[in-house]
Structure 1
Amino acid sequence: MTQRTGTGRPRAVRMSVELPLWRALTGYRILTLGYALALFCVNYHEYAHPLGAALYMGVLTLWMLLTWNKVSAPERCTRSFLIADLSIALGGVLLSAVVDSAQRVDGGAATLPSIWTGGAVLGLAIKGGWRWAAVGSTLVAAANLVERGHPARDTVHNVLLVWVSSIAIGYIVEVARASERTLARALQIEAATRERERLARDIHDSVLQVLAMVQRRGAALGGEAAELGRLAGEQEIALRTLVAGGLVPPRGTPRQLAEDAELVRSTGTPPRLPEGPCDLGALLAPHAGAAVSYAGPGTPVLLEAAAAAELAAAVGAALDNVREHAGNGARAWILLEDEPDAVIVTVRDDGPGIAEGRLAAAEREGRMGVALSIRGRLRDLGGSAELLSVPGQGTEVELRVPRGSEAGK
């Protein structure tokens, strides 16, 4: 999972699906030791060699006092500890046949460690998975059969119960660990991808500075360079309006747009952005011109300012692709739709379309306009960008932002 830091940047938070199991195992070992001691005290006088049984129970109690917190965390529970823990459990099971009477053993009396033995097997299951659990439970089963001397029904029942449950828990732990690793890796990839996309957009926006420089140098040189500078200035105004002043509805005339762009260019600071809902139609309408037609509802289409800016920027990127790849004579149409559960913007052109595999090839070559400027923005908004292109029949890009998405709140 991820959390927000004080700076607003996401950070990864380590999750451990097995930590509750270790804590539960600690409690299990303590409680079952108490049960085994109580059972021993109640049946003390029925043992054939009660002092020998008491000596083992003392050793078991001392072992627990020294190692009670060994299974509270995976780093403390080492392989050598698990082997020693299982050895003490097996020793207690085998010793029961020596210190207890034959009548009690044949009658199915509990062994000295009793159900405490299950804690040693469960430790193997949580630490090493189902394979370690299978080995540990098999050894415990063999010790119980040796202690009883013959495979009685209750002994077989208890042995199978420990064997099946420990292996099942070990398998579940392995699956949980694999899922945890997969989730952690996915979160790392997502965080790295979003950061790369953010940097790529910042680099893409730096093109504004180049366009401004071309405009100034072209005007100074005159001639054909002046025409090139004029075109660069128009592109800069359109792009800067989206990036820097896109949340402020344009005032409409080219001269006023140029004054706004010059103000942003000279100060380096975008205009103060409004808070609250923003009319998306006001941001898309300035794209209309001789080669671009715009159609939208007669009423404002309100989105939160950040979501409206990102969606308008994605539309601008789609129109940039039309101008760059569809040819000088291509026309484009923008359709804004205000649905109850989503805002949909469709950008369509009558260009030659996109050849099959061209987008994938562009991404491999590092041209990330569609992947980052369009799909990346919509993904950040919780929306989607669908691209449909038929060679010779143009391209259609459908941008959908659900209302109530986190980015739009």
Structure 2
Amino acid sequence: MDDVPITASRNAWLHAFFAATVALTAVIAVVGWSPWPTRWPAFLALAVLTVTYAAYGWRGYDVPRAARAFLPIALAVAFVLPAVAPTTAFVQCIVFPLVWCQVERVRNAVLLSGVVGLLSAAGLQVSGGPGELTGTVLIETVSVVGSCAMGIWMTRVATLAEERRRLLDELRATQDSLAEAHRSAGVTSERERLARELHDTVAQDLAGIVMLTERARGDLAADRVDRLGDRLAVLEESARTALEDSRTLVAAGAAGVASDGLGAALHRLGERFTRETGIPVIVDAPDCPLDRDTQVVLLRVGQEALANVRAHARATAAQVALHVDGARVGLRVEDDGVGFDASVPTAGHGLRGLRDRLALAGGTCAVTSTPGTGTVVEATVPTGAEPRLPGGSAPVAAVSR
């Protein structure tokens, strides 16, 4: 029927049903009563039906052109057999299914079923005479109605099955597409995470190494050899830190926070920054029971803010303060540098990556700055730790060279 494919398995059953029906009809033609002195037209009709079916009629289930060539023969057989031997009207048992399986539209199948009934009735009238008209009309009416009812019902079942198959195919395709989208999103997210981690760790370490190398070269050119030892020590420490962070990132971890917590990591960050740049950093960072992800996010905020101080601020001092406000924890980094117009979008990746990282953690970032007044970077994130963070703060620690 309409767009309903017939599978190879179903075709096999139809072939077997056709063979069985033809064989049984041939037996009926042999033993059944016939008003004709000879029954060769019935056997000829069965032979033609069988040969044409074997030659191309079996293709009619899938090929409309073959069906158009075969069905007229089946209709002719539906007339010839009842006309020779009335009991061979049994052949309708295969002619009706052939019509419904090889015609593409339900309307055409109903019309052809009526034609089969009329031809069979005409054949019965030829063999039985006018006295059998009432019985013939009743029998063929029941046959046609039953065939149409069964055909429409089976067509509906097949259509629903095809719709279900199509929906399942669409669902599988959608699931595959969604899985591919998730994989792509995961790859993109991981790349962005690695880019942020590299920017906030290894890139910052390397920037510090470059600055220290420039200062060491300047000391060497000015014959300040007494400073080279300290410069080289800081260079070695920075290189080791970069190496450790690289190994941590390769191991798919989050570099920077050791087992002693965020407060100690911020103090170490301030000390290193002071040793590398000569800019004193005051760190107020008490020990807090934060989960590791929150600690990493806030440490990255401190790293990025101090990296901007080193690269752009031309500051003489900076402050880093960790504070708690209810269910949120914040980090404030302030410098007394030249400042900038915070309303103008920056071209770098640092602040944008910082805001993306905070957004993923459910946090916010505020940058306050105007030219000549310094810069304040303040980030807040949910504590994410149990129990809640204490509200007090530790004494301010000054980190100097």
Which structure dedicates a bigger proportion of its chain to helix?
2
